[in-house]
């Protein structure tokens, strides 16, 4: 859920609660005030009726409401325990509403010429259900109005306020450390955003620096390893020329040499990878890919023959591209080498150029590979000790450098496709 929706939701909830409490209190206070003023009215009526009864004793016989608002009944003294005013709510049939409606009634007792009379005065009063309904509607309108105001506030004003934040989010999403480009921040007067931008800028600079340092380290380390490796291999080669060595010693020597060679290959690949990533292949020229692929397939002819693999070239068209020639060769060499290494004996490899794509496919007993891990350094599927686990990482680094896409899919055969669109 978005930040703005969150604030809207909380505001709406809070308003609902506040308005409900307010309305309840307001309702009872208003009702209290209404009763107060009704009762004052009744009190006044009572005095008026008593006064009128003194001038006109006839009304002392009015014992039904009918068209009046009071009744008077004669009561015996014994029936009166104490003389006091009693207010109460009661129902009375109203002709206009054709229903029983609440009325306020004042019951009192007065004395005239030695006789005691019970007086009831009524007045019509607020219909509470109507009052509640009316109140509810107005509160509901108020509530909706307020929520609408919040929505407007969020969508127009807050959205503008938060714009630098969302623009930052968007830029961070598109940030790629391998491009080593810092992001540009939007101008803002809000202090928190200024601080956020400043800190993110600092973090990114730091990450890029350590990324560069890491790349530099790999390059330097593999560079520095070259000489000691070569020296060790040379020394062992010289030792191997010693005729006095026993068969067992030669065997140990051969294994050691094998491993050192493996290390050399690994080191070479790492060095190549960092050189590509550190952008050390600058010269570019126009290349016909069919020629590159022809050349590579000739280079691999002995290896293909040895594994009895047929390489089928299917060039429906040709692709011309401007890129570094060595990298073009390394890219397709790696892909084809990979296909050869992982192909079953007596199978077929297809190299296809069609509609601006170069696709290399091979058959192996391994089923679909994990496309997410495929280009990760040192990711190996089988237990091939001679595979460096860097071949595809190198191919990916090259395609990334030229903003090409390298994709993999599996339909009983493994397909690696370089898209030149």
Partner 1 sequence: MKILIIEDEEQMLQNMKQTLEKEDYLVETATDYDSAFSKIGVYDYDCILLDISLPGKNGLEILRELKSRGITDGVIIVSAKNSLEDKIEGLNLGADDYLPKPFHMAELNARIKAIFRRRKLKGSNQLKIGNLSIKIDSQAVSVADKELTLNRKEFDILFYLASNKDRLVNKSSLAEHVWGDHIDQADSFDFIYSQIKNLRKKLSTNNAEVELKSIYGIGYKLTAS
**Site of interaction with partner 1 (CB under 8 A):** 223, 226-231, 233-235, 237-238, 240-241, 247, 250-251, 253-254, 257-258, 261, 264-265, 268-269, 296, 299-300, 302-303, 305-307, 329-330, 333, 337, 340-341, 384, 386-388, 391
- Residue number with CB closer to partner 1 (206 or 291): 291
Rounded Cα distance, 333 and 299, in Å: 9
The 3-state DSSP class for residue 44 equals helix
- Residue number with CB closer to partner 1 (73 or 307): 307
Least separation, in Å, of the C-beta of 185 and partner 1?
39
- Residue number with CB closer to partner 1 (197 or 334): 334
- In the beta sheet, which residues pair with residue 72? 119
Least separation, in Å, of the C-beta of 313 and partner 1?
18
Least separation, in Å, of the C-beta of 353 and partner 1?
20
Do residues 43 and 115 touch, judged by C-beta distance below 8 A? no
Burial of 352 (0-12, 13-18, 19+ CB in 10 A): middle
The CA-atom distances, in angstroms, between 17 and each of 132, 139, 243 are 17, 12, 98
Least separation, in Å, of the C-beta of 227 and partner 1?
6
- Residue number with CB closer to partner 1 (123 or 256): 256
- Residue number with CB closer to partner 1 (88 or 385): 385
DSSP string, 164-232: HHHHHHHHHHT--GGGT-PPPPPP---HHHHHHHHHHHHHHHHHHHHHHHHHHHHHHHHHHHHHHHHHH
Least separation, in Å, of the C-beta of 390 and partner 1?
9
In 95-176, DSSP assigns E strands to: 99-112, 115-124
- Residue number with CB closer to partner 1 (197 or 387): 387
- The H or E element containing residue 417 is strand 414-419
Least separation, in Å, of the C-beta of 395 and partner 1?
12
């Amino acid at each position: 859920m978005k930040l703005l929706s969150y604030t809207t939701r909380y505001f709406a909830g809070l308003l609902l609660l506040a308005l409900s409490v307010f309305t309840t209190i307001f309702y009872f206070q208003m009702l209290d005030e209404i009763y107060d003023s009704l009762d004052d009215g009744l009190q006044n009526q009572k005095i008026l009726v008593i006064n009128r009864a003194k001038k006109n004793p006839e009304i002392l016989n009015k014992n039904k409401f009918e068209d009046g608002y009071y009744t008077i009944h004669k009561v015996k003294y014994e029936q009166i325990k104490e003389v006091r005013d009693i207010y109460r709510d009661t129902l009375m049939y109203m002709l206009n509403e054709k229903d029983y409606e609440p009325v306020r009634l004042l019951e009192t007792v007065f004395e005239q010429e030695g006789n005691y009379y019970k007086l009831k005065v009524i007045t019509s009063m607020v219909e509470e259900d109507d009052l509640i309904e009316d109140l509810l509607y107005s509160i509901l309108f108020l509530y909706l109005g307020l929520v609408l105001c919040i929505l407007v506030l969020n969508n127009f004003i807050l959205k503008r306020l938060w714009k630098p934040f969302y623009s930052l989010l968007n830029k961070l999403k598109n940030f790629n450390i391998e491009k080593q480009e810092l992001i540009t921040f939007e101008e803002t007067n809000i202090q928190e955003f200024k601080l956020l931008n400043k800190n993110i800028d600092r973090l990114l600079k730091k990450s890029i620096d350590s990324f560069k340092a890491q790349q530099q380290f790999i390059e330097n380390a593999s560079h520095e390893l070259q000489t000691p490796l070569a020296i060790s291999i040379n020394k062992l080669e010289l030792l191997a020329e010693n005729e006095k060595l026993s068969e067992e010693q030669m065997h140990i020597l051969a294994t050691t040499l094998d491993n050192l060679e493996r290390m050399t290959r690994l080191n070479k690949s790492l060095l190549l990878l960092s050189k590509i990533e550190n952008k050390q292949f600058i010269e570019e020229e126009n290349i016909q890919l069919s020629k590159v692929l022809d050349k590579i397939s000739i280079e691999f002819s002995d290896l293909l023959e040895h594994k009895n693999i047929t390489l089928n070239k299917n060039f429906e068209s040709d692709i011309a591209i401007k890129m570094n020639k060595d990298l073009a060769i390394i890219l397709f060499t790696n892909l084809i080498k990979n296909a050869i290494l992982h192909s079953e004996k007596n199978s077929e490899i297809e190299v296809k150029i069609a509609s601006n794509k170069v696709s290399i496919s091979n058959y192996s007993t391994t089923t679909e590979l994990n496309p997410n891990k495929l280009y990760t350094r040192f990711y190996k599927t089988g237990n091939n000790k001679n595979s460096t686990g860097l071949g595809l990482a190198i191919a990916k680094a090259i395609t990334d450098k030229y903003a090409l896409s390298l994709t993999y899919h599996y339909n009983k055969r493994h397909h690696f496709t370089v898209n030149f669109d």
